Amino acid sequence: MLRDPRPDTSRTTERPLSGLRFDNRYVRELPADAESGLRRRQVSGALFSRIEPTPVRAPRLLAHSPEVATLLGLTPDDIASPDFASVFGGNQLIEGMQPYAANYGGHQFGHWAGQLGDGRAISLGEVVNAAGERWELQLKGAGPTPYSRTADGRAVLRSSIREFLCSEAMHHLGVPTTRALSLVGTGEDVVRDMFYDGRARPEPGAVVCRVAPSFLRFGHFELPASRGDLAVLNRLIDFTIRRDFADIAAQGEVADEGLRARWFAEVCERTARMIAHWMRVGFVHGVMNTDNMSILGLTIDYGPYGWIDNFDADWTPNTTDAEGRRYRYGHQPQIAHWNLTRLANALLPVFSSEAPLVEGLERYAAAYDAAEREHVAAKLGLLACGDRDLDLEYELYGLMQESETDMTVFFRSLSDVNPAAPGLAPLAHAFYDPALRDRQAPRFEAWLARYGARVREDGSDPVVRRRGMNAANPRYVLRNYLAQQAIEQAEAGDTGEIERLLGIMRRPYDDQPGNERYAGLRPDWARQKAGCSMLSCSS
């Protein structure tokens, strides 16, 4: 029988984690679902349903991010307390929490999917820290909600480890992202069919506490627009500008069309900068549906993601997308624009004309072009990036794709090339197939000759140039096979590799003596291994 999620005061206490100060504007200022309970349903005229996490058998803290804990005002004693695992495993509420599941829709793989909502994510509330920053705490895998449809609302350990590690790894890479506070094992199994091939099996369950200033998505705006509910749409727009875009809100009345246009343009520009960072570090999101696009321009919802190993602009890690490759690496900038166009269509009914929205989309293109040129210049060690430098980069990508060149290793090693006498030797270890490398060597040598001439033309200081390149080209990224090794060890009861990866990814641009194996090529055994190459949305 489904549990009635009406508030249970026996689960609420004011003692643990007393440093967390809640100010829950989302539930205070936006319309709530009139119905309570877990019945799966279409929810109209409301942006959330009040719901509590479903308790688990044996919550146990497996890992946490000390940086995020400090950000929220939590102390080491808080983390060590049994209450911490209880609260962030979903078994206990503390004073000030007002949990809910959000209501939104979205376009999935190019098609309108209607109402989606938080099917297994439950927000506990918004914390305001000592610096005045607002952080929403959200449990993923916390049990069923009215938006769970036929699912159980839970998450398995493997996907939870990937989300926990990637959230923090992306932050330290300098990519706009949601964060992760904790990873809690539930002591319960969850049955999943990992590749949708009829081989479902029980797996250990877990809950991740995700942290962000806001988890609002494009789909939050699409759903009321699709229903013609302009009252809710207007309230949500004005709320979002007031709470999450304070600089814009200070410029005038939030209902003013000009101010709303500036807000949409800012969303477009933030999205452009985020995507440009993805491309810089070789990250592939895997499932860029509009319900997975943050209105703040943050990377959100880490599912079947991956990093480019051997460079392939057509690669996607998502098995669901293996045939169409809609969300492949090289297509991500175009998909972001497509998604923003869907958002613009949702906002159109509250604008007097489409002109401000078209201008915002043009701002996306301009912002992406500027960010891409900035990143290309940094990756190649140039003072600035002109059109011919973009051509140089694109030619390099073509060579890398034809010769199975590792993206991360190649670009990190490029700073070792002497521009006065450029040669392939410093880059020889970046290739997966030595025979293929040798066949392509003359073309690479020709490219390097042009590259060396371009660097010499700049005349930049070699030490400064190398430092800048190493600050743009990471030594360490969270390759799928590294995460999979941590997953397998954790499933066997050893969480030490999670902590090691968390520590290594904390300094992704630094050379870390003793950790060289984490910076090498993907091993051959991982090329086709489940979890190391392709992944599914099953989690």
For 151-194, how does the pLDDT look when each residue is reduced to its tens digit (9 = 90+)? 999 999 999 999 999 999 999 999 999 999 999 999 999 998 87
291 given a catalytic annotation:
yes
Mean per-residue pLDDT, 292-296: 98
pLDDT reading at 8 higher than 80: no
Q: What is the pLDDT of residue 15?
A: 63
- 383: Cβ contacts below 8 Å, ≥ 6 apart: 377, 458, 460
Count how many residues are written for the chain.
539
**DSSP alpha helices (H): ranges in 30-144?**
66-72, 76-80, 82-88
Q: What is the pLDDT of residue 1?
A: 30
Global confidence as pTM: 0.95
| pLDDT tens column, 62-116 | 999 999 999 999 999 999 999 999 999 999 999 999 999 999 999 999 999 999 9
Q: What is the share, in percent, of the chain residues with pLDDT greater than 70?
A: 96
Residues 167 and 178: beta-carbon distance below 8 Å: yes
Of the candidates 88, 71, 263, 314, the residue with the CA atom closest to the CA atom of residue 171 = 71
Q: What is the pLDDT of residue 530?
A: 82
Strand 105-108 vs strand 93-94: parallel, antiparallel, or unpaired? unpaired
Average pLDDT along the chain: 95
pLDDT reading at 127 higher than 60: yes
Mean per-residue pLDDT, 441-445: 98
Mean per-residue pLDDT, 18-32: 96
pLDDT reading at 340 higher than 60: yes
Q: What is the pLDDT of residue 18?
A: 85
Q: What is the pLDDT of residue 12?
A: 63
Residues 178 and 307: beta-carbon distance below 8 Å: no
- 104: Cβ contacts below 8 Å, ≥ 6 apart: 47, 115, 116, 117, 217, 219, 220, 222, 223, 291
Out of 33, 78, 238, 291, the active site residue is 291
Half-sphere exposure of 52 (CA within 13 A, CB side): 21
Q: Which two tokens stand for residue 432?
A: 């997966």
Q: Which of 369-383, 395-409, 518-532 has the lowest mean pLDDT?
A: 518-532
**Per residue, what are the HEC states of 438-457?**
HHHHHHHHHHHHHHHHHHHH
DSSP 428: G
Residues 292 and 391: beta-carbon distance below 8 Å: no
Mean per-residue pLDDT, 359-385: 98
